[in-house]
Amino acid sequence: MRPLKIAEGIYDVGVKDWNIRDFHGYSTYMGTTYNSFLIVDDDKVVLIDTVKEPFTHQFMENIRKVIDPKKIDLIISNHAEMDHSGALPRVLHLIGEETPVYCSKMGEKALSAHFNDKKINLHVVKPGTEMKLGKRTLSFIETRMLHWPDSMFTYLKEDGILFSSDAFGQHYASHENFDDEMGEGLFEHAKKYFANILLPFAPRVEKLLESIESMGLPLNMICPDHGILWRKNPEMILERYASWARQETKEKVIIVYDTMWNSTEKMARKIVDGARSTGVEVIPMSVRNWHRSDIMTELMDSRALVLGSPTLNNGIFPTLCDVLAYMKGLKPQGKLGAAFGSYGWSGEAVKLLNKEFDTMGFERIDDGLRTLYVPDSEALQACYDYGVRIGEAVKAKS
Ligand SMILES: Cc1cc2nc3c(=O)[nH]c(=O)nc-3n(C[C@H](O)[C@H](O)[C@H](O)COP(=O)(O)O)c2cc1C
């Protein structure tokens, strides 16, 4: 139900996008929400972020259920990306073109470049600036590159609410609105979001968490721009973020592969059996059936990445190249790597996969395992043994 009252005079007037599955190329999400927050105080009415453009009508209806939109005195843009700013021009048109929009220094640049055919009354807020609304006070925290240069947080002092933009969000639409209405599954959505959006900025996340702690801000609620709001114990998501940012791993291996004539798949199955026999968790992931965004989510707490590819035209199979291009951009750190694959004559794929591990800074278990065409019983035993070796290496690496 929107608008959603989250505290006295504070509402989530955003919208739920139930049907979206592919979010900037990261498929298999379960919908999302574009949260936007309306604060009605004695002197000022403030809107924090807007929604994706096609939802503008529904968004305005939500606002109207609380207040006449023309009473909005100012808008804060925590993040210029279109899912939070797309509705901005139409909102301004409806409530008054002169309405001030407050944003970070980089936000000014990004919003101007997004809406280059429109004159928006932009005002830059410096980090730490306070803005009095009547009974309440807002302040602004710079969170550059989490995950865009313009990103910032807005903090509502008296209520202890952190409006955290994309951080701590999840691409997940549900009838539930708050963390206490959901179980552990909520963290899986948050983990997927982190793995696919925030992982490249993990060192910055660590620093941000430290600085939030040092500021000693009371945090009664964390309200991201996507998904469920954290009100029961916001500390929990901060703790998870700390662990994900440190890229902590467990005794887990993912085996990511593709195959044309099933030889590499036969090898994969034996490697899975061998690795499992050592007691480590093993997840086989055929790239035909697992989306790269799910592979990244599973990789995040895995200690080893095992890649399997047949040789095709002296190279790696293209589906694996897709995953690797995506993975490299997200900068996972501190993993073990192992490669395998079937080949017919030249067999370059394993060597090239090893190069990819070197580029990513992964520690290679060895030079990998190749099989000529279809693996016989001896080759399959070698695959099983290779799996055992991988499992032992995972257990040996803390
Ligand atoms: C179109 C095509 C191109 C291939 N190119 C190479 C190649 O350049 N070098 C090589 O060693 N094998 C090459 N192969 C042979 C495959 O690597 C071999 O058939 C392998 O066993 C396939 O493994 P899979 O069953 O896991 O797909 C090629 C196969 C096909 C179908």
Over the stretch 142-194, which tens digit does the pLDDT of each residue have? 999 899 999 999 999 999 999 999 999 999 999 999 999 999 999 999 999 99
Tell which atom from ligand 1 comes closest to the C-alpha of 309.
Answer: 26
Do strands 281-286 and 315-316 pair parallel, antiparallel, or not at all (unpaired)?
Answer: unpaired
Rounded to whole angstroms, how far apart are CA atoms 340 and 350? 6
Q: Which among 295, 343, 366, 301 has a CA at the least distance from the CA of 27?
A: 295
Q: Does 189 participate in catalysis according to the annotation? A: no
- Is any atom of ligand 1 closer than 6 Å to the C-beta of 100? no
Tokens 């409806």 sit on residue: 94
Name the residue with the closest Cα to ligand 1, atom 2.
312
Residues 96, 90: Cα–Cα separation, whole Å = 10
C-alpha distances (whole Å) from 114 to each of 19, 81, 87 are 25, 9, 12
In whole angstroms, give the CA distance from residue 163 to residue 153.
Answer: 6
Give the β-pairing of 363-364 and 10-12.
unpaired
ipTM greater than cut 0.90: yes
CB atoms closer than 10 angstroms to residue 7: 16
Residues of CATH 3.40.50.360 domain(s) within the chain?
253-396
- Sign, CA dihedral 98-100-105-111, equals negative
Nearest partner of 387 among 372, 374, 369, judged by Cα = 369
Distance CA 149, CA 122 (A): 17
Residue owning tokens 């993040």: 79
What single-letter amino acid sits at 231? R
> Which H or E run contains 293?
helix 292-300
Residue 293 tokens, joined: 């965004």
Contacts of 45 by beta carbon, 8 Å cutoff, 6+ apart: 38, 39, 67, 71, 72, 73
Q: Which comes out higher in pLDDT, residue 228 or 2?
A: 228
Annotated active-site residue 83? The verdict is: yes
Rounded to whole angstroms, the Cα distance separating 355 from 358 reads 5
| Cβ(309) – ligand 1 distance below 6 Å | no
24 part of the active site: yes
What's 4-245's CATH class?
A: alpha beta
* Residue 340 main-chain phi, psi, to 5 deg: -150, 170
Cβ within 8 Å of residue 315, ≥6 positions away:
321, 348, 349, 352
Catalytic entry in 41, 49, 166, 348: 166
Using pLDDT thresholds of 50, 70 and 90, give the confidence band for residue 398.
confident
CA of 384 to the centre of ligand 1 (A): 22
Q: Residue 30 has what pLDDT?
A: 83
Positive or negative, the CA dihedral 103, 106, 107, 113 is positive
Closest C-alpha to 102, from 47, 56, 57 = 47
- Judge whether 93 counts as a catalytic residue: no
Percent of residues, the chain, with pLDDT higher than 70 = 98
pLDDT band at 20; cut points 50, 70, 90: confident
Task: Determine which residue's CA is closest to atom 20 belonging to ligand 1.
Answer: 343
Sign for the pseudo-dihedral over CA of 308, 313, 314, 315: negative
Return the biggest CA–CA distance within the chain: 79
pLDDT digits (tens, 9 = 90+) for 262-273: 999 999 999 999
Evaluated on CA atoms 203, 204, 205, 206, the torsion sign reads: positive
pLDDT in tens, 54-103: 999 999 999 999 999 999 999 999 999 999 999 999 999 999 999 999 99
Q: Exposed (0-12), middle (13-18) or buried (19+): which is 189, by Cβ within 10 Å?
A: buried
Neighbouring C-alpha atoms within 13 Å toward the C-beta of 78: 33
Instruction: Give the distance (Å) from ligand 1 centre to CA of residue 268.
Output: 16
Summary mean pLDDT of the chain: 96
Q: Is 319 in the pocket of ligand 1 (CB under 6 A)?
A: no
Question: Rounded to whole angstroms, how far apart are CA atoms 168 and 164?
Answer: 7
With tokens 């549900």, the residue in question is 174
The residue annotated as part of the active site, out of 26, 226, 257, 258, is 226
Instruction: Domain 253-396: give its CATH architecture.
Output: 3-Layer(aba) Sandwich (3.40)
- Centre a 10 Å sphere on the Cβ of residue 377 and count the other Cβ atoms it contains: 7
Q: What is the pLDDT of residue 240?
A: 97
> What local confidence, expressed as pLDDT, does residue 24 receive?
67
Distance of CA 211 to the CA centre of its chain: 21
Cβ-based neighbours of 80, under 8 Å, separated by 6 or more? 103, 107, 110, 111, 114, 148, 150
Which listed residue (147, 171, 189, 291) is catalytic? 147
Return the bridge partners of 48, or none.
Answer: 37, 76
Residue type (1 letter), 64: R
- Which residue intervals of the chain bear CATH 3.60.15.10? 4-245
Share of the chain above pLDDT 90, in %: 94
For range 322-340, the mean pLDDT: 97
Ligand 1 center from residue 260 Cα (angstroms): 8
How much is the pTM? 0.95
Contact between 171 and 23 under an 8 Å Cβ cutoff? The reply is yes
